Chain A
Amino acid sequence: MPDLEELYREIILDHYRSPRNRGELPVPPAHRVEGFNPLCGDEVVLSLEVADGELRDIKVAGSGCSISQSSGSLMSAAVKGRPLSEVREMIKTFKTMMTVHEASLGDDRTTGAEDAVDPEPLDFSKMGELAALQGVVKFPVRIKCATLSWNALSQGLDEVAST
């Protein structure tokens, strides 16, 4: 079943079975943010530790399907320890990768697609393991699973910036 293999790539299943950066950080100093998909009940809880313009540490908790949970794990591995500017850039790139087909869902209110639309072509090859999630765009209803933790991260960073 080629379609399934494209969705459930080995990297995704690996992150689902053994999620990275699992858990929570004490608040404060960490900032806590939740993401929720009311349609399927998937839930992600991020703990973010930001200092000196860097995302020093990140932990991921919550529960849900393989796509939402592996996406959270892959994200945490990709953004941990990076300067905030780079993290923002990655959020944008990831959401653009997922937005390709998102418009056809007819609901971009909850996905944050407005701020992800970027006319410039982005280089997905720099996404490393994250590119494994590209297969999700073929399954439009699962895009929200994949973007859940990214939207939470984006919201969390905004909240940190405004305090």
Chain B
Amino acid sequence: MAHAVSVKDPLDVEVLRKDFPLLARTVHDRPIVYLDSASSSLQPRQVLAAMEQYYETTHANVHRGVYATAEGATELYEGARRKVGRFIGAPDPKREIVFTKNATEALNLVANAWGRRHLKRGDAVVLTEMEHHSNLVPWLMLAEAIGIELRYLPVDADGRLELDGLERALEGARVLAVSAMSNVLGTINPVPTMAEAAHAHGAVVVVDGAQSVPHSVVDVKALGADFLAFSGHKMQGPTGIGVLWGRAELLEDMAPFLGGGGMILDVRLDRFTPAEIPWKFEAGTPPIAEAVGLAAAVDYLHGVGMERIVAHERLLTAYAIDALHERLGGDCRIYGPPAGGDRGGVLSIAYRDVHPHDLAQVLDQFGVCVRPGHHCAKPLMHRLGVNATARASVGLYNDEADIDTLIEGLSHVGTVFG
């Protein structure tokens, strides 16, 4: 996040795009312009090949069989765990990475397995107004169930967190749960400073990294997080797998989450003993092929270089913001901070007073994929005073031509809704 942007070794996007089969397709006779990576990213063929190879040569259930492929599958699955752990700088990758279904499940796991053991009625959890529902509803559910108090850090007019009240909000708080990057505004929150303040108050820091992990260089120690949740499908991996990283001491002192096979050491008719971490939190047959795919995605990102990806996306975001303003002027409004170091490639756009649904419909005719809606952040929408926005978000495979087509499409909206 605080890493210097280097433009010395820019990405060759034209070459890299060839890795993504979906980019070869056309939509309404036009090449697809994929600007919805914040929702779900595309997969390179390396990821697809790794999964196919796994199914063709090594598939078996993990942690059970003694035959060769079962051992192979277990090795691949546990290898994926270590690889993902190293990718985010986990001190103990073998024990600290829990595979879940997605970021949402990872956050629910924290709220339930940590929250129910350590929080009691009246305890305060600090959240922000810009949280995705997945870092909001689990805490609301916990509030309903055990009566915790929820406090919210407000969002200012530029779409940044107002941190004047941070110290006061943290007074006596047990948890700070914050998104490292907003999926609506692109705002990159100053998690390291916030975490430091939270720790000074004895609070545990839960970071929603669904948007930040795919688009920044993440090191959990530098971040100051105690828990970090993210999704495979937003970082060139497959759907069906997410990750919870947690500090080993914290994971050890948590209740299990789901119960079933794989998460126990022993079971009697009247009691059970949970397995060691991380398996304690992985009930049932895990997403094995998906873990293999995620490991391949990490290899891919690593191969391209996260620093180069960040630099590319930052330049492209600045280009997009400039070009939208220059070519569409007052007709186009972009929510969130101006281009800069605390601004990721998520652009929530309003065009004149045309409804985002209609914007997205017209853009679809240009092959442009953007997302209309509330982006699972309804409280933030209320704060912005809108029901919905049209969101364009960039990935490593986007280039200036994609932005130009977006603008061409937006200009056409004017002729339809004149």
Interface residues of A (CB under 8 A from B): 1, 3-4, 7-8, 13, 39-43, 63-67, 139, 142, 145
Once A40-B357, A66-B358 are accepted as A-B contacts, the answer to whether A8 and B416 lie under 8 Å apart by CB is: yes
Question: Taking the complex as formed, is B17 at the interface, i.e. its CB lies under 8 A from any CB of chain A?
Answer: no
Residues of B within 8 A of A7 (CB): 361
Q: When the two chains form the complex, which single residue of B356, B357, B362 contacts A145, counting CB atoms closer than 8 Å? A: B357
Instruction: Out of A3, A66, A142, A145, name the residue touching B365 (CB < 8 Å).
Output: A3
- Complex CA gap A65/B28 in Å reads 22
Give, as a whole number of angstroms, the nearest-CB distance from A19 to chain B.
13
Does B95 lie at the interface of the complex (its beta carbon under 8 Å from any beta carbon of A)?
no
Q: Is the CB of B417 within 8 A of A65?
A: no
Verify A4–B417 contact, CB threshold 8 A.
Answer: no
A4 and B361 form a contact (CB under 8 A):
yes
What's the minimum C-beta distance from A70 to chain B, rounded to whole angstroms?
11
Asked whether any CB of chain A lies closer than 8 Å to the CB of B323, the reply is: no
CA distance A41 to B390 in the complex (A): 13
Bound: A63/B365 CA distance, A: 24
Are A67 and B357 within 8 A (Cβ)? yes
Q: Distance (Å) between the CB of A111 and the closest chain B CB?
A: 17
0/1 per residue, B339-376, Cβ < 8 Å to A? 00000000000000011111001100100000011100
| Range, interface on chain B | 10 to 19
CB of B59, distance to nearest CB on chain A (Å): 29
Q: Is the CB of B373 within 8 A of A41?
A: yes
> Contact check: which of A8, A41, A63, A66 meets B381 at CB < 8 Å?
A41
Q: Which residues of B contact A4 (CB under 8 A)?
A: 361-362, 365, 416
Q: Tell whether A142 pairs with B387 under 8 Å between CB atoms, given A41-B381, A66-B417.
A: no
Task: Give the chain B neighbours of A43 by CB distance below 8 A.
Answer: 387
Asked whether B289 is an interface residue with its Cβ less than 8 Å from the other chain, the reply is no
Tell me the complex Cα distance, A8–B413, Å.
11
> Does chain A have a CB within 8 A of B388?
yes
- The interface residues of chain B lying within 8 Å CB-to-CB of A65 are 355-358
Contact B358 A1 (CB under 8 A): no
- Are A64 and B416 in contact, with the CB atoms below 8 A? no
In angstroms, Cα B417 to Cα A141, docked, is 20
Known: A142-B357, A142-B361. 9 other contacts (CB 8 A): A1-B365, A4-B362, A8-B358, A41-B387, A43-B387, A65-B355, A66-B357, A66-B358, A67-B357
Contacts of B365 in A (CB 8 A): 1, 3-4
How far, in angstroms, from A41 to B381 measured CA to CA in the complex? 10
Contacts of B355 in A (CB 8 A): 64-66
Q: Are B361 and A41 in contact (CB under 8 A)?
A: no
For this complex, 8 residue pairs linking A to B, each with C-beta atoms less than 8 Å apart, are A8-B416, A40-B372, A41-B374, A42-B387, A65-B358, A66-B358, A66-B417, A67-B357
B137 CB to nearest chain A CB (Å): 14
Most buried by B among A3, A39, A43, A65: A65
Complex Cα spacing A60 to B135, Å: 36
Are the CB atoms of B357 and A3 closer together than 8 Å?
A: no
Q: Is the CB of B373 within 8 A of A40?
A: yes
**Do A13 and B417 have beta carbons less than 8 Å apart?**
yes
A residues less than 8 Å from B356 (CB atoms):
40, 65
- A41 with B417: CB separation less than 8 A: no
Across the A-B interface, give the 4 residue pairs with the lowest CB-CB distance, nearest first: A65-B357, A65-B355, A41-B387, A1-B365
Complex: A41 Cα to B378 Cα, angstroms: 9
Q: Is B387 touching A64 in the complex (CB atoms < 8 A)?
A: yes
Question: CA separation between A4 and B129, bound complex, in Å?
Answer: 37
Q: Residues of B contacting A39 with CB < 8 Å?
A: 373
8 A Cβ contacts from B308-358 to A: 354-358
Which B residues touch A41, using CB under 8 A? Answer: 373-374, 381, 387-388
Query: Which residues from A are CB-within-8-Å of B354?
Result: 66
Minimal beta-carbon separation of A105 from chain B (angstroms)? 16
Compute how far the CA of A43 lies from the CA of B365 in the bound complex, rounded to whole angstroms: 26
Give Cα A66 to B416, complex, Å.
11
Give the residues in chain A near B412, CB-CB below 8 Å: 1
Chain B residues in 8 Å Cβ range of A66: 354-355, 357-358, 417
The residue that A3 contacts in the complex, of B28, B374, B387, with Cβ under 8 A, is: B28
Among B356, B361, B387, B416, chain A packs the most CB atoms within 10 A around the CB of B361
Closest to A145 in B: B357
A66 to B355, CA, bound (A): 7
Q: Is the CB of A40 within 8 A of B388?
A: yes
Compute how far the CA of A39 lies from the CA of B357 in the bound complex, rounded to whole angstroms.
11
Chain B residues whose C-beta falls within 8 Å of the C-beta of A42 in the assembled complex: 357, 387
Separation of A139 and B28 alpha carbons in the complex (Å): 13
Chain B nearest CB, measured from A64 CB (Å)? 7
In the bound complex, how far is the Cα of B358 from the Cα of A139, in angstroms? 12
Which residue of chain B has its CB nearest to the CB of A2? B365
What is the minimal beta-carbon distance from B412 to any residue of chain A, in angstroms?
A: 8
CA distance A67 to B416 in the complex (A): 13
Closest beta carbon of chain B to A60's beta carbon, Å = 16
